[in-house]
Amino acid sequence: MDRMLVVVFDNESKAYEGRKALLQLDDEGSVRVYGYAVLAKHADGKASIKEGDDASPIGTLVGTALGTLIGILGGPVGVAVGASAGATLGGTVDFDKARIGDDFLDDVTKALSPNTFAVVAEIEEDWTTPVDTRMEAIGGTVFRRALSEVRDTVNHEEVAAMKADLAQMKAEYAQARADRKGKLLEKINRLDSKIEGLLEKAKVRRQAAERQAQAKARILKSKARAAQANP
C-alpha cells in the first residue's frame, strides 16, 4: 500500500538515524521508498529541508504529493530549500495534491513543533511493524496515512449546473436592456472563468498523477538494475 510517512524526532542526529534506517529497510525489501526528505522546524517557526533523496532532486518534488506535504508542513512561511536545490516549496498549496486527510496533517503539524526534525517520505509497505520497530527504537514518533486516489476529474454535475447557469445568463443578456448588459456580462465572464479553471485544474492533476507514476516506475527500474549489478 502506498503511504505518506512522517517520523518526528527531537534532534537532528536522530532524524538522520531515522533516514538511514528507512533506507536500510528499503534495501532489505521491507518497504519501498519512492522519495524522502529530512525536514527541520526552527525556533522561529520556519522550516527547511536538510537533505533530500539523491535519486529524486528536491526540485522535482514540486507538484507531487510528497512535495505538497513538505510545503504544508512548512506552515505559512513555507519551506526554505537550500540554494543548491534551486527551488522553493511552500506558499500556496493544493491540499488535494497531498492526498491525505486534514486530521493527519493536524496530528503531524502539532508534533512538528519548533526545534524538532522529521523524516518525510512516500513509501510502499505491506505491514507497519518494520518501520515502527526501527523508528521507535531511535526515539521517533511515527505518523502514516494511506494515499487517497488522485482526484483528477471534475464534479461533472457541478460543471453541468454551472454551464446551465451560464446559458441562462447569456440568454438573459441577449434580451437585457443596455443598463443591465454590463453587469450581466461581468457575471458571465466570471462564471466562464470559473468553469475553465475547474477544467484546467483537473487537467493539471491528471498530468501530475501521470508524472508521479512515471517517476515511481523509473525508481523501481533503477533499483532493479542496482540489485542485478550487486547481487
Kindly state the helix (H) or strand (E) to which residue 6 belongs, with its residue range.
strand 2-9
* 78: alpha, beta or left? (left if phi > 0; alpha if psi -120 to 50): left
Q: Are 141 and 190 members of one domain?
A: no
> Mean of the pLDDT values across residues 58-87?
53
167 CB contacts (<8 Å, ≥6 apart)?
Answer: none
Q: Are 11 and 102 members of one domain?
A: yes
Above 80 in pLDDT, residue 74? no
Look up the domain containing 41 and give its range. Answer: 2-148
What pTM was estimated for this model as a whole? Answer: 0.63
Q: Are 21 and 113 members of one domain?
A: yes
Domain-terminating residue out of 148, 173, 197: 148
At 155 the pLDDT is 62
Q: Are 162 and 144 members of one domain?
A: no
> How many structural domains is the chain composed of?
2
Q: Are 108 and 22 members of one domain?
A: yes
Q: Give tens-digit pLDDT for 210-230.
A: 776 777 777 777 777 777 777
Whether 47 contacts 40, CB under 8 Å:
yes
At 161 the pLDDT is 77
Q: Are 143 and 163 members of one domain?
A: no
Q: Are 144 and 169 members of one domain?
A: no
Q: Are 27 and 140 members of one domain?
A: yes
Buried b / exposed e over 176-205, threshold 16 CB at 10 Å, is eeeeeeeebeeebeebeeebeeeeeebeeb
Q: Are 119 and 15 members of one domain?
A: yes
Most confident of the following: 20-34, 84-98, 151-165 = 20-34
Percent of the chain with pLDDT over 90: 23
Query: Phi/psi of residue 32, each to 5°?
Result: -115, 130
